[in-house]
Structure 1
Amino acid sequence: MNLNEPTPQNIEYMIEAIKTKLRMATGAAMQSSSFSVDKYEDIKDIYDMVASKQNFSISEVEALVSELGRLRA
């Protein structure tokens, strides 16, 4: 998968991967369709950071969820 292309499908893939990695209890509320392609680079930055780390503190998860909430359309 080429995540360098800002497509709705890539956004869906990245959001699902972030939700899985963070084990988000509220994952159902975070639908990929809520994100605009205009925010692709910001979402990709979060995805890259989440993918690079093994574990997250509660405060890190809260900050990431907050940032994703800010990026929703």
Structure 2
Amino acid sequence: MDLSQPTQANVEFMIEAIKLKLRMASGAAMQASHFQVDKYEDIKDIYDMVNSKDKFSISEVEALVSELGKLRG
């Protein structure tokens, strides 16, 4: 997928990928459609960081979920 363009489809793809990678128990509460394109760069930064690591501590997951929560529309 070409993530160079800030589209709603790309935002939703990245959010779903982040949820899957973090195995978020609260994933259902964080629907990709709640994130807007105007937060694209911030979401992309989180997406890139999540994809760069294989494992996350509980505190890292909590911090990432908190950041995503701040970006919801």
Aligned pairs, number = 73
* Residues 1:68 and 2:72 are matched in the alignment: no
Alignment RMSD (CA, Å): 0.4
- Report SS of the residue matched to 1:18: helix
Residue 62 of structure 1 and its aligned partner are, at CA, apart by 0.1
Residue 50 of structure 1 is matched in structure 2 by 50
Query: TM-score, structure 1 length as denominator?
Result: 0.98
Match runs of 1:1-73 below 5 Å: 1-73=1-73
Identity between Structure 1 and Structure 2 (%): 77
Q: Secondary structure at the match of 1:62?
A: helix
1:3-31 deviation digits (Å, cap 9, x = unpaired):
01000110111001000000000000111
Residue segments in structure 2 that go unaligned for 5+ positions in a row: none
Q: C-alpha separation between the residues in 2 aligned to 1:45 and 1:4?
A: 12
| TM-score (normalised: structure 2) | 0.98
Partner of 1:46, secondary structure, is helix
